[in-house]
Chains A and B, each alone.
Chain A
Amino acid sequence: NAGVTQTPKFQVLKTGQSMTLQCAQDMNHNSMYWYRQDPGMGLRLIYYSASEGTTDKGEVPNGYNVSRLNKREFSLRLESAAPSQTSVYFCASSEIRGGAEAFFGQGTRLTVV
């Protein structure tokens, strides 16, 4: 049982390049989340999805787009990368029922130069 799988694990982009971070979960969870982690800032929510076909903005959505392709997959796209998007990105999923904890992937370390 793989849980939450993120690809790639590491990526270096040049300013202005685009890329998509992939996330897949095999736990049949309805809710999925994208966070970024920066030193001293904790985890900040970028986007989340309560179910297939629905997405909502979190605290820091600017510069990102998401796609909930199906129940398993939730991708995060940077259309024109900026140095301020250098961060570690985490995907998570959880059951929709009340009080269920979220499960996290191992993260993607992105550097924009």
Chain B
Amino acid sequence: AQSVAQPEDQVNVAEGNPLTVKCTYSVSGNPYLFWYVQYPNRGLQFLLKYITGDNLVKGSYGFEAEFNKSQTSFHLKKPSALVSDSALYFCAVRDTNDYKLSFGAGTTVTVRA
């Protein structure tokens, strides 16, 4: 069985400060890992993914994420948050030997001006 945990329901940061959204995962084999963002009343938009290779991956809108195999984590980061980054963020995992794509419960990010 595979699963994703996002331990924080909400993250609040001031504009210009670093933003971190945490994610841990569990799979039987090796993982493909993804981050998505959802704005109100919209579908999910892909931000970035880890497939293999470099543990630090860069994605859209200045976001990056670090894969840590020993801690089974894939935390999303942004060095300097913007008010427009306020949204709902989802982490997702897929086992490299399967097609099932599982999501976490989501983390609401609020960036205050």
A106 to B102: give the CA distance in the assembly, Å. 19
Q: Is A41 an interface residue (CB 8 A)?
A: yes
**In the complex, which residue of chain B has the Cβ closest to the Cβ of A102?**
B101
Q: Is A43 an interface residue (CB 8 A)?
A: yes
Contact across chains for B43 and A106 when beta carbons are under 8 A apart: yes
Chain A residue contacts of B43, Cβ below 8 A: 4, 90, 104-107
Chain A residue contacts of B103, Cβ below 8 A: 35, 42-45
Chain B residue contacts of A12, Cβ below 8 A: none
| CB 8 Å contact bits of A15-38 with B (1 = contact, 0 = none) | 000000000000000010101000
A99 to B96: give the CA distance in the assembly, Å. 8
| CB 8 Å contact bits of A60-94 with B (1 = contact, 0 = none) | 00000000000000000000000000000010101
A98 to B95: give the CA distance in the assembly, Å. 9
Contact across chains for B51 and A31 when beta carbons are under 8 A apart: no
A92 to B96: give the CA distance in the assembly, Å. 18
A98 to B49: give the CA distance in the assembly, Å. 12
**In the complex, which residue of chain B has the Cβ closest to the Cβ of A59?**
B102
Chain B residue contacts of A96, Cβ below 8 A: 99
Chain A residue contacts of B90, Cβ below 8 A: 42-43
Contact across chains for A40 and B101 when beta carbons are under 8 A apart: no
User: Which 6 residue pairs across A and B have the least CB separation, nearest first?
Assistant: A99-B51, A42-B105, A43-B103, A104-B43, A104-B44, A50-B99
By a beta-carbon cutoff of 8 Å, the part of chain A in contact with chain B is: 4, 31, 33, 35, 40-45, 48, 50, 56, 58-59, 90, 92, 94, 96, 98-99, 101-107
By a beta-carbon cutoff of 8 Å, the part of chain B in contact with chain A is: 6, 9, 32, 34, 36, 42-46, 49, 51-52, 90, 92, 96, 99-106
